């Protein structure tokens, strides 16, 4: 059970806020290559009251953690909203394409078929 989930159930007295950043990273790390997920999906899976925006904020710190495939997280429309935060404007797209995901005009082609929803794919 994640730290956030424990907190929600009252199993933890307080939640150091950085911790749900870790939860987010843990989920992101589990995204299979060639699949993507959304900020909202992660937020829902972790029962984050904070919502999707905080997931995005969490990802802001992901560059410190090397093993985070941040390029596999996009917004609910399949748009590469975070590409601006990669080294080059095309880095995110190139990484996705390297995994077999087609990207057209900053948007993932056939988005729904590559979508990986942790709530349904990751057994809870």
Partner DNA sequence: AGCTTGACATGAT
Partner DNA sequence: AATCATGCCAAGC
Question: Cβ neighbours of residue 121 under 8 Å, at least 6 residues apart?
Answer: none
Residues 43-82 that bind DNA (CB under 7 A): 43, 49-57, 59-60, 62-63, 70, 73, 75-77, 81-82
Give the binding range for DNA (CB under 7 A) out of 3-11, 83-91, 104-112, 115-123: 83-91
Question: Cβ neighbours of residue 83 under 8 Å, at least 6 residues apart?
Answer: 89, 90, 91, 92, 93, 106
Give the binding range for DNA (CB under 7 A) out of 36-44, 93-101, 103-111, 116-124: 36-44
CA dihedral sign of residues 76, 26, 49, 59: negative
Interface ranges with DNA (CB under 7 A) = 17-18, 38-41, 43, 49-57, 59-60, 62-63, 70, 73, 75-77, 81-82, 84-86
């Amino acid at each position: 059970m994640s730290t956030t989930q424990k907190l929600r159930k009252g199993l933890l007295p307080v939640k150091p806020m950085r911790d749900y950043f870790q939860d987010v990273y843990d989920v992101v790390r589990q995204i299979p290559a060639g699949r993507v997920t959304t900020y909202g999906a992660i937020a829902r899976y972790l029962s984050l009251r904070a919502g999707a925006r905080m997931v995005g904020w969490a990802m802001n710190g992901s560059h410190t953690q090397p093993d985070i495939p941040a390029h596999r997280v996009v917004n609910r429309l399949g748009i590469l909203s975070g590409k601006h935060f990669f080294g080059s404007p095309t880095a995110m797209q190139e990484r996705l394409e390297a995994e077999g995901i087609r990207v057209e005009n900053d948007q993932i082609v056939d988005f729904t078929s590559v979508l990986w929803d942790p709530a349904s794919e990751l057994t809870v």
